[in-house]
Structure 1
Amino acid sequence: MKERSMGAQKQAGKTGRPARVPGEKHTKEKIFDAAVDLFAKKGYDRTSIRDIAKAVGIAESAVYRHYTSKEAILDAIFDYMETQIYAPLPPAPNAEKRPESSIFRDMLAGLPWFIEANPIMVKIAHIMFTEMYHNDRIRDYFRKEYIERGDSTTEAIFREQVEAGKIKPCNVRALAGLFNAYRFAWVFQSFVFDYGRPIDMDAIKRDLEAQIELFEDLLKPESS
């Protein structure tokens, strides 16, 4: 009896909690995932720490051991978005078969595969677009990081392309605004407006390809 009790204690670990199964997500990751899911379904303001704890199957106090508040979870979502949005997109399949890629294809063609590989980003996009209208923190963050910073970054990229003779001379600031407006519209239509419905990824890819070709046709260098 004593040996069995000691074995059970060893399996539970020093804290008395059951040992984590190899490959199982850490509790902090489970809290993050549950919060994103609930914020997308119920809204940020209508989701409580108690709701998140219940979804994970832990006590409220366990949530606070990892996140000091619901706002801290929102900060973690912002941090996650930044690591994903400003990371290089994966190349689209068959991209290597094209003799020469364009900056428009490089910046757009990988989006569907990025979303397929990061389904949590669909939920986060839904949160950002729906909550910004009544949450000042989300609206201010979105404006600063994904409108102002996004336009400035894209403008600099397009200016380099013009100087390198890869796209025709144009008002790069206006082009950046138009290009990013399309990207926002694409995200909204594909993953926010139709949120919760089956995603027709083939149709999304076809529509995206048509837009890429339009940008490429309109902005071919004069020498081509």
Structure 2
Amino acid sequence: MTVYVDLSNKEIVNATKNRLIDIAIDAFSLKGFSGVSIRELTREAGIKESSFYNHFRSKEELQETIFANFRVSAEKIKPQVEHLEYIVKAMPLEAFLRQVYLNFMDHVLSPKMEEIWRILYLEQIRNKEAREIYLNELVGKSLWYMEAVFAKYIESGKIPPSSPAMLAAEYQYPVFSMISEFLLLRLDGKATDDIRRRMEEHIAFFARLAENKEES
């Protein structure tokens, strides 16, 4: 069972609250937030509807808790920026990109995280927080982070001078597309070997490209 944290007070949530979160993730990922009632959630949890409010003030707060725990998990995919200088000295660019990819796969295939990715896709139109997570924290932060990575590799002399921002965009936008394809294939129970192979080939190709790319 996944263990969740109440981000408001940094405590591990109790068993009933944990079960409500699990049930909500399953339900929201299939029906969307608006397609699931508190009555359905509490019936599945085996508690009275009124007992829901002992754990969450509203269904919206329950969804916010889900998103907050997702943020914590997603932050662990990439090494912290302050550690980049040491990592860049120790690892070739391709090895670094491959490790981040493996960290992502561990994240997305961990219990419940794949379903939360589906919730984010489902809720982007209706829910501002879902949009902000996707646009600002997944897309925006990834581009910012990869720009910092490429800047460090350029500074170290391991790749030629170029625009770190352009390298980040050229590398990361295909990754976003392939992640979406991977998750959609998983949703339909289809094989993902081909898209995973293409993701790995993208890493190897881009590392070679970056190592030989110079500004004109």
- Does the 8 Å contact 1:126/1:195 carry over to 2? no
* TM-score, scaled to structure 1: 0.74
Unmatched segments (≥5 aa) in structure 2: 1-13, 80-90
Q: Distance in 2 between matches of 1:218 and 1:100?
A: 11
Seq. identity, %: 27
Whether 2:55 is the aligned partner of 1:66: answer yes
- Does the 8 Å contact 1:155/1:172 carry over to 2? yes
Q: Distance in 2 between matches of 1:168 and 1:129?
A: 37
Shift of 1:216: 1.5
User: Over aligned residue pairs, what C-alpha RMSD do you find?
Assistant: 2.5
| Alpha-carbon spacing, 1:100–1:143, altered in 2? closer, same or farther (3 Å) | closer
- Does the 8 Å contact 1:112/1:201 carry over to 2? no
Counterpart position of 1:143: 135
Q: Could you tell which deviates more after superposition, 138-147 or 120-129?
A: 138-147
Q: Distance in 1 between matches of 2:163 and 2:113?
A: 32
Shift of 1:102: 3.0
Counterpart position of 1:203: 194
Counterpart position of 1:77: 66
1:11-65 alpha-carbon deviations (Å, 9 max, x no partner): xxxxxxxxxxxxxx81111111111111111011221211211222211222211
1:165-180 counterparts in 2 under 5 A? 165-180=157-172
Q: Distance in 1 between matches of 2:24 and 2:200?
A: 34
Q: Could you tell which deviates more after superposition, 98-107 or 133-142?
A: 98-107
Equivalenced residues, count: 189
Q: Distance in 2 between matches of 1:170 and 1:103?
A: 18
Q: What letter is aligned with 1:157?
A: V
| Alpha-carbon spacing, 1:148–1:114, altered in 2? closer, same or farther (3 Å) | closer
Runs of 4+ in 1 over 4 A off after TM superposition: 98-101
Q: Distance in 1 between matches of 2:55 and 2:191?
A: 37
- Does the 8 Å contact 1:44/1:131 carry over to 2? yes
Counterpart position of 1:120: 112
Shift of 1:137: 2.6
Q: 2:156 aligns with which of 155, 160, 164?
A: 164
1:1-224 counterparts in 2 under 5 A? 26-88=15-77, 102-116=95-109, 118-191=110-183, 193-220=184-211
- Does the 8 Å contact 1:128/1:142 carry over to 2? yes
| Alpha-carbon spacing, 1:46–1:55, altered in 2? closer, same or farther (3 Å) | same
Unmatched segments (≥5 aa) in structure 1: 1-24, 91-97
Q: What letter is aligned with 2:108?
A: I
Shift of 1:112: 2.7
Q: What letter is aligned with 1:127?
A: I
Q: Distance in 1 between matches of 2:104 and 2:137?
A: 19
Q: What letter is aligned with 1:212?
A: I
Shift of 1:101: 5.2
Q: Distance in 2 between matches of 1:205 and 1:47?
A: 33
- Does the 8 Å contact 1:53/1:60 carry over to 2? yes
